[in-house]
Amino acid sequence: MGLRDYLRVARRHWWLLVTSVVVALGVALVVNLQMTPVYAARVTFFFSTPIAGASDLYPASMFNVSRLATYARLLTSDEVATPLAGTPGIDMDEQEVRDAISSETVADTVMMEVSVEDRDRNRALLLLTRLTARFESAVESLERSAPGEPSTVKVTVVSGPGLDEDPVAPDALNNFALATVVGLVVGAVASVGREVADDTVRTAEALQVLTSAPVLARVPMDSGRPARPGPFVSVSTSARTEALREVRTQVQCAAAANSVKTLAVTSAVPGEGRSATACGLALLFAEAGQRVLIVDAELRRPRLAAFLGQEESAGLSAVLDGTATLEQVLQPWGAGLWLLAGGRTPRNPSELLSSPRMTELVDDVRKRFDVVIFDCPPLLPVTDAAVVAAHTDGTLLVVRARRTTSAQVTAAVRTLHAVNATLLGGVLNMVARKGPDAVPTFESYVAGPGTPPQRGRGWRMQAVAG
């Protein structure tokens, strides 16, 4: 993955990053509120060696610097720390005393800063005061060459002992900063992991690779909610309608080159907007002045009659089982559009669709109409769609963005190839209107400058689950 891919992942999963940071900050807040404050008392020692003249100044300074590490160890030794444990006002054992003491050498100097940390600020100052006296005495005693002789090292307190005004722990700002970094890291790892684990189809490029066929359009979701059941809730100047016009244009180009008159519209699984896409295409072909027939080949769950507000008791199933003729069940809908509903659900849909009567019906409607669109069932649950696709001149595979998996698309394409169906291309449906995978918007351009897009006029359609 390149930098752009990571940025796209961050945009796509921004909510995960924000959630991780908020949770981490919440944990830091709880820690800051629940943690008992720790106070620090500090003192600074200066180490010097008596010298006879200026020539001894540098050797004496180097001597003291080389011994600072020894003095740091002396602070927590039995010589200094053990006598302080259990003294009046200091209710601590030897190990607790050692743990409370820390030291740091001031760089390029012969000074050392010693601190004592404790939850009781008064005890911290008391322990440091006693530690200072004990340490001075221990150093001068150990650095004395012989009893009664002066010490070769003099310890001078140059700062303190003093107590810090604010507690050293918890450090609220530091904890919040650390929580922010941890939240971002956890969110980034979770986002990348989610992206890697997500095998749904999100982009037209991915769909084209899976189908080895062109992607005819990316059809966006409608922002408005339907006023009544059915696919007609998008104005004719909406982005969705414009995308379906792109599909119509692509099919017309294919028809000019390969004589495509019968078209199967199917999907891998249910709920990908297949029926709404078929209805929208049929309306757009009729809008272009062609005679169009839309056939509900979903005999198990017919829907088009309900979408279009037509009679659904008789239709394709009646023609295939011989109980009705095509003329008896055809229903006109508007100018240039006819509907062949699914009819009553038969016991053997696959057998009816693969019967010789189906072949005769396809040949008959090809002669009568300029464009015939079959709304087929999904390919993976049943074999009905593959049977119908084998009878048509071309097939459109509708894939729902961010829902249909790569494995499902691959299996659907394999099913179409198994029956020698011609896959004209894919339609990436219900693409997000916002985000890194969003489609361009057409409303402002179609409406014209200074004119808001009109709603509620013209024919409408929407991607509904089908």
Model confidence band, residue 14 (pLDDT cutoffs 50, 70, 90): confident
Q: What is the mean pLDDT of residues 108-116?
A: 89
SS3 451: coil
pLDDT digits (tens, 9 = 90+) for 254-265: 777 677 899 999
Model confidence band, residue 114 (pLDDT cutoffs 50, 70, 90): very high
pLDDT digits (tens, 9 = 90+) for 295-334: 999 999 999 998 888 998 889 999 999 999 999 999 999 8
Q: Please give the single-letter amino acid code of residue 432.
A: A
SS3 371: strand
pLDDT digits (tens, 9 = 90+) for 128-145: 999 999 999 888 888 887
Model confidence band, residue 443 (pLDDT cutoffs 50, 70, 90): low
Contacts of 169 (CB under 8 A, 6+ apart): 35, 37, 38, 117
Rg of the Cα atoms in the chain: 41
Q: What is the mean pLDDT of residues 92-114?
A: 89
DSSP string, 145-185: SSTTSPBSSEEEEEEEEEE-SS-SBS-HHHHHHHHHHHHHH
- What average pLDDT is seen over the chain? 85
How far apart are the C-alpha atoms of 38 and 124, rounded to whole Å?
Answer: 9
DSSP string, 288-332: TT--EEEEE---SS--HHHHHT---SSSHHHHHTTSS-HHHH-EE
DSSP string, 196-213: HH--B--SHHHHHHHHTS
Among 7, 2, 125, 48, smallest CA distance to 436 is for 7
pLDDT confidence of residue 67: 79
Beta-carbon-side half-sphere exposure of residue 291 (alpha carbons within 13 Å): 7
Q: For 168, list phi and psi in degrees, rounded to 5.
A: -85, -15
Q: For 317, list phi and psi in degrees, rounded to 5.
A: -65, -35
Q: Is the pTM of this model over 0.85?
A: no
CA 262 centroid distance within chain: 40
How far apart are the C-alpha atoms of 157 and 147, rounded to whole Å?
Answer: 24
How far apart are the C-alpha atoms of 384 and 378, rounded to whole Å?
Answer: 8
Does the domain at 201-439 match CATH 1.20.120.530? Answer given as no
As to burial, measured by CB atoms within 10 angstroms (0-12 exposed, 13-18 middle, 19+ buried), residue 167 is: middle
How far apart are the C-alpha atoms of 411 and 323, rounded to whole Å?
Answer: 36
pLDDT confidence of residue 413: 97
Q: Going by DSSP bridges, is the β-strand pair 423-431/394-400 parallel, antiparallel, or unpaired?
A: parallel
Q: Does 370 or 449 have the greater pLDDT score?
A: 370
Residues 218, 433: contact at Cβ < 8 Å? no
pLDDT confidence of residue 320: 94
pLDDT at 464 over 50: no
pLDDT digits (tens, 9 = 90+) for 268-291: 999 999 999 999 999 999 999 999
For the chain, what are the domain ranges?
A: 3-35+171-196, 39-163, 201-439
pLDDT confidence of residue 465: 44
pLDDT digits (tens, 9 = 90+) for 225-242: 444 444 444 566 778 888
299-322 as b/e: b if 16+ CB within 10 A: beebbbbebbeeebebbbbbbbbe
Q: Does 7 or 416 have the greater pLDDT score?
A: 416
pLDDT at 425 over 60: yes
pLDDT confidence of residue 105: 87
DSSP string, 19-79: HHHHHHHHHHHHHHHHSPPBEEEEEEEEEE---SSGGGHHHHHHHHHHHHHHHHHHHTSTT
Residues 204, 215: contact at Cβ < 8 Å? yes
pLDDT digits (tens, 9 = 90+) for 339-355: 999 999 999 999 999 99
CATH architecture of 39-163: 2-Layer Sandwich (3.30)
Q: What is the mean pLDDT of residues 439-452?
A: 53
